[in-house]
C-alpha cells in the first residue's frame, strides 16, 4: 500500500473515525436519529465521525480548508488544499444494519482530486490512491476490469428515491441500459460503488444528483486504477455537475452512448 506522509495522515484519520462508526454500527438500534429530509437520515454516529475527522486533520495539516457533508465549507488559510469529507456514505444502509457504508476522504488540490481514501469499517476494506502512485485495496494493487462489451458487464447505478432525483429520467436511462448489460446493481453507497469499479468488481457506475463528498475520493481511486471518470455529458465537470460515470475506456464510451439515447 502507499506509504507517503499524506496517505499515512489520511489513513490514520479514517481508521480513528472508523473505530467509532464500527462501535455505533454494533448498537445501531440505540442511535439517536434525526431527519433532514425524506429518507435522508443524520445519525449521532455521522456527526461524531465528522468531528473526529475534522479534529484529526486540522491537527496534522493546519490551514487546509474543508468541505464536509454536515458542516459545509470551512475555509482555511490554504485554500488550494481542501479536505472533502463524507463521514458516513450509506447512512440508510447503516441505520438498517446493512454493512455497506464507508468513510470517504479526499484531498482536492486546486479543484482536482489528488488523493483519496475510502474505508468500510464493517469489512475492514481500505481503498487508497494518490496521484501517480496507483490504487490499492489494503495491501493489494487494484485495476479496473478489462471487459470490453456491455453485454459482459455488471454495471452499478444510483436510484432516485423519495424526495430525491428525477424518477422519469432515471426510468428512461434504466430502460436504455438494462437490455444491454449482463447485470445491474445498486448498493446505496456511491463511494463504495466507485471503489468497487476501481477494484474490478463492477465494470462501470453512473449516478446523478451527487455531492462532491460522495465522489471526490472515488474519482482519484478509479483514475489511479486505470479507469476513466466523467460527467454524463462526457465532460470533466464531475464535481461541478454532481454526476458521474466511471469505468474503462470501452465502458465509458458505450455507456455514455446508451444513456445519451435515453
Residues contributing to the annotated binding site for Mg(2+): 69, 86, 88-89, 214
| Gap between the Cα atoms of 103 and 120, Å rounded | 7
Residue 104: beta bridge partners? 86, 118
CA nearest 135: which of 87, 86, 197, 85?
A: 197
Q: What is the DSSP letter of 7?
A: H
Detail the residues annotated as belonging to a binding site: 69, 86, 88-89, 214
Residues 6+ away with beta carbon under 8 Å from 250 = 147, 148, 149
| Gap between the Cα atoms of 139 and 62, Å rounded | 29
Residues 6+ away with beta carbon under 8 Å from 67 = 73, 74, 82, 83, 84, 85, 108, 212, 213
Q: Provide the b/e sequence for 25-48 (b: ≥16 CB within 10 Å).
A: beeeeeeeeeeeeeeebbbebbbb
Query: What is the residue whose three cell numbers read 480513528?
Result: 16
In the chain, beta strands by DSSP E: 33-35, 41-43, 64-68, 72-74, 78-89, 102-109, 112-120, 125-130, 135-137, 140-141, 154-157, 183-185, 204-207, 228-230, 244-247
CA nearest 215: which of 250, 235, 243?
A: 243
CA nearest 232: which of 204, 262, 260?
A: 260
Amino acid at each position: 500500500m502507499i506509504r507517503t506522509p499524506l496517505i499515512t495522515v489520511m489513513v490514520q484519520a479514517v481508521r480513528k473515525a472508523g473505530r467509532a462508526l464500527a462501535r455505533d454500527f454494533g448498537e445501531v438500534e440505540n442511535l439517536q436519529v434525526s431527519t433532514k429530509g425524506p429518507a435522508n437520515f443524520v445519525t449521532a454516529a455521522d456527526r461524531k465521525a465528522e468531528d473526529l475527522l475534522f479534529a484529526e486533520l486540522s491537527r496534522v495539516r493546519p490551514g487546509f480548508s474543508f468541505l464536509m457533508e454536515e458542516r459545509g465549507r470551512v475555509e482555511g488559510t490554504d485554500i488550494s488544499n481542501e479536505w472533502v469529507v463524507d463521514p458516513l456514505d450509506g447512512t440508510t444502509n447503516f441505520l438498517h444494519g446493512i454493512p455497506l457504508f464507508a468513510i470517504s476522504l479526499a484531498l482536492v488540490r486546486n479543484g482536482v482530486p489528488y488523493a483519496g481514501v475510502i474505508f468500510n469499517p464493517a469489512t475492514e476494506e481500505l481503498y487508497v490512491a494518490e496521484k501517480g502512485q496507483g490504487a490499492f485495496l489494503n495491501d493489494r494493487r487494484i485495476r479496473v476490469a478489462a471487459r470490453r462489451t456491455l453485454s459482459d458487464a455488471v454495471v452499478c447505478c444510483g436510484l432516485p428515491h423519495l424526495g430525491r432525483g428525477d424518477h422519469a429520467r432515471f426510468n428512461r436511462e434504466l430502460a436504455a441500459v438494462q437490455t444491454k448489460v449482463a447485470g445491474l446493481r445498486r448498493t446505496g453507497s456511491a463511494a463504495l460503488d466507485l471503489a468497487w469499479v476501481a477494484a474490478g468488481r463492477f465494470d462501470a457506475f453512473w449516478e446523478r444528483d451527487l455531492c462532491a463528498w460522495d465522489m471526490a475520493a472515488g474519482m482519484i481511486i478509479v483514475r489511479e486504477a486505470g479507469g476513466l471518470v466523467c460527467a454524463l455529458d462526457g465532460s470533466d465537470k464531475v464535481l461541478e455537475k454532481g454526476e458521474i460515470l466511471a469505468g474503462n475506456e470501452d465502458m465509458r464510451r458505450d455507456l455514455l452512448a446508451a444513456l445519451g439515447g435515453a
